Structure 1
Amino acid sequence: MKKIGITGQNGFVGSHLYNTLGLKPEEFERIDFQKEYFEQPDQLDNFVKQCDVIVHLAAMNRHPDPEVIYHQNVELVNQLVLSLERTGSKAHLLFSSSSQEERDNLYGKSKKLGRSLLANWAKLNGGKFTGMIIPNVFGPFGKPNYNSFIATFCYKLTHGENPTIDVDGEVRLIYVGELVQEIINQIQSGETKEQYVVPFTTAIKVSEVLDKLENYKKLYFDAGEIPKLITGFDYQLFNTFRCYFDIATHYPVKFTQNIDPRGAFVEVIRLGIGGQCSFSTTVPGITRGNHFHTRKIERFAVIKGKALIQLRKIDSDEVLDFYLDGTEPAYVDMPIWYTHNIKNIGEEELLTIFWINEPYNAEDADTYFVEV
């Protein structure tokens, strides 16, 4: 079992790494770190002495004065090096540098220098060092206006603000979960790599990201519909977006009930990745349906009460009867070109869940009414 400490464990990447390591207690023991340790040499030394692996993530990303960023980040590295030397540590040290190393800004320069200082410590003291040069990271729980433009966009869209684009260039991104796995892979390998360029997993224009997020707001945040998600990045971005809701005020979201003398019809969920799911209540003696489809895939699932489901191929006189009882939940799939219905034949309310592979569109309903 490796004992792992993370400077900056409460930060964006640090918290994801800390929590992920906690899922593997048989392999990793987490040594807690507090940011105050950098100002308390004894506490820092005690932390360092316990660690087989140290992942140095603590850093400043934003400040009105770039000089402050530079000096703060270099000072954190210097404090860590001094502690490593005082304790005679032979730990495997992993450092999160940035793809901004080669840019002409003080943040990038602070990262490049920090990587050099830690690599030098490892050479002189028999330690292991992995200098990870990381692309732009996004994911759930990043701080808006600090960690990522995606975090900023998500926050604004879910809090009544309008995001704006300063420069619409292509960005190279990695999802925080993917980065965490990269870090764990390097921990497990135990190899020294003074300059390891972490590969980006998505290249996309800023405007394309905003387009996707605005679609998520319109469909999901405002209307409760699951949007169409095709790529792995789509799922990552959607899950990122969802974490910026004010959950306490957003939920519960009430359904719209369509009530008539037969009972109530409620659309449960509309899925860009899987059609439409609804449920109905039907009072005793009432029949629903008597229509057919030419392309839609449909399933009736009875979960309460007793029902008779009938099917008839529209060019045949043969009627197929299926008796369902909610005490033994079951379903019947509706073949195309078969007119079908469902009737409550019990003495209590009938509860049915319907799934169909495409949301209802009044302009192209593919629903033709014919009595069974």
Structure 2
Amino acid sequence: MKRVGITGQNGFVGSHLYNTLGLFSEEFERIDFNKEFFESENDLDAFVASCDVIVHLAAMNRHESEQIIYETNVGLVQKLVDALRRTGSKAHVLMSSSTQEERDNLYGRSKREGRELLVSWAQEAGGKFTGLIIPNVFGAFGKPFYNSFVATFSYQLTHGETPIVSNDGEVKLIYVQELVDTIIQEIRSDKGNAKLLVEPTAVKKVSEVLDLLEDYKTKYLEGGEIPVIKDSFEHNLFNTYRTYIDHKSHYPVKFVQHTDPRGAFVEVIRLGIGGQCSFSTTVPGITRGNHYHTRKIERFAVIKGKALIQLRKIGTDEVLDFYLDGTEPAYVDMPIWYTHNIKNIGEEELYTIFWINEPFNPEDADTYFEVV
């Protein structure tokens, strides 16, 4: 078992990497990192000495002063190198750098010089170092106005704001989970590579991305429709967009009922893609679920009985409660990386329709059990 520590484990990429490593608990032990460790040599040394692998992600991306960005990023790497030397560490160190290394700006310089500091340490100490040159990263839970224009646009479109394209150039993109998979692959390889170019998985104009996000707003947020998803990039972009919706105020979404003397008709879901639709009955007091997905798109629709649907983002304590009643049929969609369940809180059987965008495959279930 490899002991893996992540500087910046609570950041955008760091939290995804930390959570994903947790899915391989028989292969990796996660060594927790606190940003205050950089202010204490003893704490930083103890952290470094505990790790077989260190993924250095802690960095400053934006600040009104480029000089502060430069000094902060180089300073963090220097502190890590000093701790590696003090402890005589032979850890495999991986560092996230940027395609901006070659640009004439202080952020790019800070990443290049930081990477070169770790290259020198590895050569001197006989350690292993991998410098990851990474394109623009997008994905769930990125900080708007900081991590990515995708995060900014997604936040604006789900919070009543209007995005503006200031520079409609082509952008090389990689989804955060694809980057995490690459990092884990490098950890497993146990080989160093001073300058590893991480290939983008999509190249898009900024306006192309905005057009897709605006389509998601119109069809999904406002209309409840699962839009056409043509490829893995659009799948990942749609899942990213969904995480910026204010779940507390948006759900449950009531269906439109059409009634006549025969009874009622409700359209449960309108699809631009396929998937699997299923139906369940649940006796009073029983809870289903208590699991989460990292890629699947899923809808729970209560059509009879009373239910409590609960969501909790992995790594957090806040539980979101949604009460649904079949007399007013409604649905809740499950965001990725949120563990969820549904409980019959009524006195009669609960009738629920479940839709998910891909049929269940026991060899690749993307279903991880954790109690809400």
Q: TM-score, normalised by structure 2?
A: 0.74
Partner of 1:16: 16
Partner of 1:274: 274
Partner of 2:32: 32
**CA 1:241–1:352 in structure 2 vs 1: closer, same or farther (change >3 Å)?**
closer
Matches within 5 A, 1:104-143: 104-143=104-143
Partner of 1:204: 204
CA distance in 1, matches of 2:192, 2:156: 41
- 1:269-292 C-alpha deviation (Å, 9 max, x unpaired): 00011399899xxxxxxxxxxxxx
CA distance in 2, matches of 1:64, 1:272: 43
CA distance in 2, matches of 1:79, 1:219: 49
Partner of 2:149: 149
Partner of 1:227: 227
Partner of 2:87: 87
SS at match of 2:230: coil
Query: Partner amino acid for 2:83?
Result: S
CA distance in 1, matches of 2:259, 2:103: 62
**CA 1:270–1:103 in structure 2 vs 1: closer, same or farther (change >3 Å)?**
same
Q: Is the 8 A contact 1:77 1:117 kept in 2?
A: yes
Query: Partner amino acid for 1:195?
Result: K
CA distance in 2, matches of 1:91, 1:276: 45
CA distance in 2, matches of 1:12, 1:275: 30
Partner of 1:329: none
Partner of 1:193: 193
Unaligned runs of 5+ in 1: 280-302, 305-350, 356-372
- 1:249-307 C-alpha deviation (Å, 9 max, x unpaired): 1000000100111110000000011399899xxxxxxxxxxxxxxxxxxxxxxx99xxx
Q: Is the 8 A contact 1:267 1:277 kept in 2?
A: no
Partner of 2:181: 181
Matches within 5 A, 1:248-259: 248-259=248-259
Partner of 1:334: none
Partner of 2:237: 237
Query: Partner amino acid for 1:152?
Result: T
Query: Partner amino acid for 1:225?
Result: E
The alignment covers a number of residue pairs equal to 285
SS at match of 1:74: helix
Partner of 1:76: 76
CA distance in 2, matches of 1:277, 1:268: 10
- 1:166-190 C-alpha deviation (Å, 9 max, x unpaired): 1000000000000001000110111
Query: Partner amino acid for 2:143?
Result: K
Q: Is the 8 A contact 1:7 1:57 kept in 2?
A: yes
Q: Is the 8 A contact 1:89 1:127 kept in 2?
A: yes
Deviation at 1:118, TM superposition (A): 0.4
Q: Is the 8 A contact 1:270 1:276 kept in 2?
A: no
CA distance in 2, matches of 1:276, 1:176: 26
Deviation at 1:2, TM superposition (A): 0.3
Partner of 1:62: 62
**CA 1:115–1:127 in structure 2 vs 1: closer, same or farther (change >3 Å)?**
same
- 1:130-150 C-alpha deviation (Å, 9 max, x unpaired): 010000000000000000000
CA distance in 2, matches of 1:277, 1:26: 34
SS at match of 1:37: helix
Q: Is the 8 A contact 1:54 1:93 kept in 2?
A: yes
Matched, 1:158 2:158: yes
**CA 1:277–1:123 in structure 2 vs 1: closer, same or farther (change >3 Å)?**
closer
Q: CA RMSD in A?
A: 2.1
Query: Partner amino acid for 1:271?
Result: L
Please say which structure displays the higher CA radius of gyration: 1
Matches within 5 A, 1:311-350: none
CA distance in 2, matches of 1:352, 1:59: 46
SS at match of 1:214: helix
CA distance in 2, matches of 1:207, 1:39: 42
Deviation at 1:192, TM superposition (A): 1.4
Unaligned runs of 5+ in 2: 280-302, 305-350, 356-372
CA distance in 2, matches of 1:205, 1:164: 13
CA distance in 2, matches of 1:276, 1:190: 40
**CA 1:276–1:131 in structure 2 vs 1: closer, same or farther (change >3 Å)?**
closer
Query: Partner amino acid for 1:178?
Result: E
**CA 1:53–1:277 in structure 2 vs 1: closer, same or farther (change >3 Å)?**
closer
